[in-house]
Amino acid sequence: MKANFFPYQLQFQKPSGTSRGILTHKKIWIIKLWNEENPHIVGLGECNPLVGLSIDDRPDFEEKLREFCKAVNSAGATTAELEGTILNFPSIRFAFESALKDLETGGKRILFDNPFSRGEQGIRINGLVWMDDAQSMKNSIAQKITQGYTCIKLKIGAIDFEQELALIKEIRRNFSASEIEIRVDANGAFTAKEVASKLDKLAALKLHSIEQPIRQGQATVMAKLCKNTPLPIALDEELIMHTSRTEKAQLLQFIQPQYIILKPSLIGGWKASQEWINIAEQQNTGWWITSALESNIGLNAIAQWTYELKSTMPQGLGTGQLYTNNFESPMEIKGEQLIFNANKKWHIAL
């Protein structure tokens, strides 16, 4: 097996806000795998480290990626040995895992043969409303509901909290909790001192859940919150630093969250995500899958695998519409579903 990689810079359609700042572009790396006897069959995988968040957001990332490809190109290394060399580089682990699966299934980006990849069924997703000024967020909420979304996710923590509450109240004036499910993602924006009162105010609006209300790394505070919260709490960034099964089990047992949110690019791919799921289900913790600003290459790998899990909850999968220069793919949105249009082709120039 042979390997190479190519950097690629994605450009946002419009600046997109999070509690960690405004994003206008992001860099990814695409891993290519092939066998010398069939060089025309190529497997692709996406490395998608997020600046300021991923544990492999490091100055030596590209150097490590180069070393990894060199190791792949050296005869004799097993898949398990190769995976061991990138344990602390979750986005490379995910890229390698998905590129290898793509190669094994013919290099056609059909990683799992299922009703989703055959274009027979879609995956229900939430409608994501990015942080923005209050009027822009209001317009985006209205647009998502008009498009048919029954689960709306709002990123909060960037504008005045009372304005954010007002936006949610407006939804509730028009739609009950049984008509529109509302999730919010604070991305750790609240302080330990203020979080309890803010959770009370949000809970009064009959929300489904809140993601990461406080910054990760405050396990004792988070455990207390999850024990006493009026609103179900989902761990997101909290999961990123934990790689061994023992660490994962200890974290969930100590904090006991209501939900966990799994981003394969940030936690090491499908196998690592499945390990989290197995542990969560053992203690009756809910879960769902979320993409993390991948291009359509990474999103495709996440979506096809997500369908395999048979979850009935709305998933947090992106739509590929954030970027001006995304790779053309068969994925598109129909109502509130991500679908794979079998009549459309991939166009990937690297």
Contact 237, 18 (CB under 8 A): no
Residue 310 CA, chain-centre distance (Å), reads 17
Residue by residue, DSSP assigns 57-126 as --TTHHHHHHHHHHHHHSTT--HHHHHHTTTT-HHHHHHHHHHHHHHHTTSSS--S-STTTTTS--EEBP
Q: Choose among 58, 51, 74: nearest CA to 2.
A: 74
Q: How many CB atoms lie within 10 A of CB 324?
A: 10
Q: Choose among 293, 319, 289: nearest CA to 307.
A: 289
Which of 101, 153, 155, 248 is an active site residue? 155
Q: Choose among 344, 324, 325: nearest CA to 333.
A: 344
Strand order in the sheet with 2-18: 2-18, 21-35, 38-47
Q: How many CB atoms lie within 10 A of CB 163?
A: 14
Angle between helices 296-308 and 90-104 (to 10 degrees): 70
Which of 263, 310, 344, 345 is an active site residue? 263
Query: Active site includes 108?
Result: no
Angle between helices 161-174 and 195-203 (to 10 degrees): 20
Query: Active site includes 263?
Result: yes
The set of catalytic residues is 155, 263
